[in-house]
Structure 1
Amino acid sequence: MEGAPARGPSVVIEDLELTYRIYEDVKPTLRKLVAQRFRPRAFRAVEAVRGVSLTAQPGEAVGILGRNGSGKSTMLKCLAGLLPPTGGRVYARSTPVLLGVGAALQQELSGRRNIFLGGTALGIPRKELERRYGEIVEFAGLGGFIDMPMRAYSSGMKARLHFAIASTVTPDVLLIDEALAVGDAEFKHKSQERIVQLLGEAGTVFIVSHALGIIRDVCSRAIWLDKGLIVMDGPTEDVAKAYEDEVKRTQS
């Protein structure tokens, strides 16, 4: 991932491609097991993202739609620098912050310790974390659970804590992967308000979600991915309606 120019778009993706090599899962037999000792295992290539190009501007919220396996989360991981693309380029004004349900916080540590651990990993000074600790705990709504190990948390509690930590700072680019789909109505309202605040400060947000209501409420633009390709890119309502119609057509 390369830095974007100081002015202009916050994110530019050019002909992004990512191909996985997956070993074939063949039902083993004695003959096949013996044969595999003398030749390499067979594998197949899976094109998770194929030639995706897009540009996002400061203050823009972009929703990413698509069925499971369409390449949505893979694209966000490439944008976050977690997966190196096999082709194309990704430019970002600064390092994007990826917020997902499976966020890498320490399950054996308490929520309190994870606030400082996760905040430090995001580059937030300890003094700033101490100053805003109460605000983070209140936003996450964990109450007495804040001193319990995270392995005791539900997926919704984990998502609330991670969002509260990640949004303590104002990242230039925030990537949200299904993290808003697991909270209750109050948390969704608070998180959407914070996203709007971020957009007002010229941040850029990408949201992956199967909950079209969230995409419609927050995003002015949507991108529909299918089998790693962009099917449609435009105003949220236009893309969401076309996607819904296609889902209904294939299910009927």
Structure 2
Amino acid sequence: MINSESKNIKVKATNLTKRFEMLETTSNKMKTLFGLNRNKGQEFWALRNVSFEVHDGETIGIIGLNGSGKSTISTLISESMTPTTGTLEVNGEVSIIALGTGLIPNLTGRENIHVVGLMMGMTKKEIADKLDDIISFSELGPFIDQPLKTYSSGMRAKLSFSIAAYQDPDILIIDEVLSVGDGTFGQKSADKMFEFREQGKTILLISHDMVAIEKWCDKVLWLHYGEVKAYGPTKEVLPQYINFVQWFIHLKPEEQDEYKHRVRDEQLTYTVEQLREEIVDEHGEATSRTIRTKIDEQLNSIKNNKLSIFSKGLLIVLATICILGALYYTSSAQSPKALADPVYFFRHQAFSTNTSFSEMIDSELAVKTEKTRENASETTTTEQPNISEKAATSETTETPPKSTSDVTITSTYIVQEGDTLEGIAIAEGITLEALQASNPNVSGNTIYTGEVLKIPKSQTTDKTTTANTTTTEGQ
């Protein structure tokens, strides 16, 4: 048995609690973040006044029924979450092994070793140096280069344990992983755990396997629906838990449901006042006064742990900039100066299509249409009989001439500083009326720097095609 008095403390929890606010919708969560949610969600106390100590080289078994807070306490120790109240002292680097944690299904086992290793703080060189050892320890063989989604739960457990084992942490948390492995690998894992412990490292084993708990653990922490039911040497606590489990499984199903419902209600209705009373009973009035003051400070910190007024204002400004940027990018404005007059921008430009973008789309459509016509013309020509063969018997064929038409070609002009509508019309050689007709959005003669104007130009194109006459020889 480990002598705890001569060992340094690795993990120390004092009056630890973890409260979750169960909000039903995403909108309520966002309102809570901004401090706008008046409807407070149901509170659930996953941990209630939990205290314990873990020393160097100890292996602690954490047991309890499902939903008792075992994974919550491991998450707090790994610093993935923060406690609601109380203090949690962790001395050393923590590595947590849970089934599938950090593993990516679409990556191979080898690729997952690199990814998870980096997530755990290992360098690329460390991963490269330990890669062969990790693969060998995992016993996956050729499957190491297969996608993780093809692995069984036991194979995933082997991979997770192997990666964490070679990270060489100070505190190793094993959450329900060894129970899914085979006997051979389980013994290998046990040997590795004992090797860790002999090096002065601390192990927290979360499991429902009482044989493993009895074999490997020095102490047992029994959590019962968020509370510490017992904590002490394995030979003292484990029999108590086994007796409780035997009592529970012999209850009728409706009695089991009633019991679970009752203890779950205690977690839902737990209050800070109850916590204060428990601390007074535990430490006495004098000592508990300091603890209660600290609890009040922590609760006030959580209450005020919403976005500050400055943060809210900053988010609003950033959102406004993003919206304006998106509108400007898709609008008809060609210069940021157009934003100087927001009223005109929103009225005439914000929701108008970007001219260059529209012209690019129209150009591509025109090219595709022309190609389609050319292909259709080639097909028609191929299907027609040879003209020289028909010349002996056919009459004169004439192609009707195409009439001359006026084609209106429109270009664009970006208004520069100092420009006037009349000046632009003169410079482009068109009338003021024609320019206004092509730009109905222009109010009177008012134009703005950066505004895009459509410039009409008249070009007469003679599309008359001379009739081709084919005359039969000898007429």
Q: Shorter-chain TM-score: what band?
A: 0.7 to 0.9
Answer yes or no: is the 8 Å Cα contact 1:139–1:164 preserved in 2.
Answer: yes
Residue 239 of structure 1 aligns to a residue whose secondary structure is helix
Q: Which consecutive residues of structure 2, in runs of 5 or more, have no partner in the other structure?
A: 1-6, 26-36, 251-475
With structure 1 as the length reference, what TM-score do the two structures score? 0.88
C-alpha displacement of 1:42: 6.5
1:121 Cα shift? 1.8
Residue 16 (structure 2) aligns with? 16
Q: 1:35 matched to which residue of 2?
A: none
Counterpart of 1:122 in structure 2 is 120
User: CA, structure 1 residues 21+163, in 2 after alignment: closer, same or farther (shift >3 Å)?
Assistant: same
**Does structure 1 retain, via aligned residues, the 8 Å contact 2:100–2:160?**
no
Counterpart residue number, 1:247: 245
Separation of aligned partners in 2, 1:121 and 1:82: 13
Aligned-residue CA RMSD (Å): 1.7
Task: Choose which of 91, 95, 116 in structure 2 pairs with 1:97.
Answer: 95
Greater Rg over alpha carbons, structure: 2
* 2:257 aligned partner: none
Which of 58, 61, 85 is 2:59 aligned to?
61
CA contact (8 A) 1:23 1:41 kept: no
Deviation at 1:157, TM superposition (A): 0.8
| Higher RCO by CA contacts (8 Å cutoff, separation 6 or greater) | 1
User: How far apart are the structure 2 equivalents of 1:23 and 1:140?
Assistant: 41
| Worse-superposed segment, 128-137 or 163-172 | 128-137
Q: Deviations over 1:118-160 (max 9, x none)?
A: 1122222322322222211111111111111111111111111
* 1:147–1:58 Cα change, 3 Å: same
Separation in 1, partners of 2:139, 2:63: 29
> 3-state SS of the aligned residue for 1:113?
helix
1:171-182 to 2 correspondences below 5 Å:
171-182=169-180
CA pair 24-196 structure 1, distance change in 2 beyond 3 A: same
Conserved 8 A contact 2:11-2:89: yes
Q: Which residue of 2 aligns with 1:32?
A: none
Greater mean deviation of Cα atoms: 93-102 or 177-186: 93-102
Task: Give the stretch that moved more between structures: 88-97 or 172-181.
Answer: 88-97
Q: Please report the TM-score for the alignment, with normalisation by the length of structure 2.
A: 0.47
Gaps of 5+ in 1: 1-6, 26-38
Distance 1:110 1:24, change over 3 A: closer
Give the CA deviation at 1:114: 1.1
Partner deviation per Cα, 1:68-105 (whole Å, 9 max, x = no partner)? 01111111101111121111121111231111013112
Q: Larger strand proportion, structure 1 or 2?
A: 1
Amino acid at match of 1:170: D
Aligned residues: 233
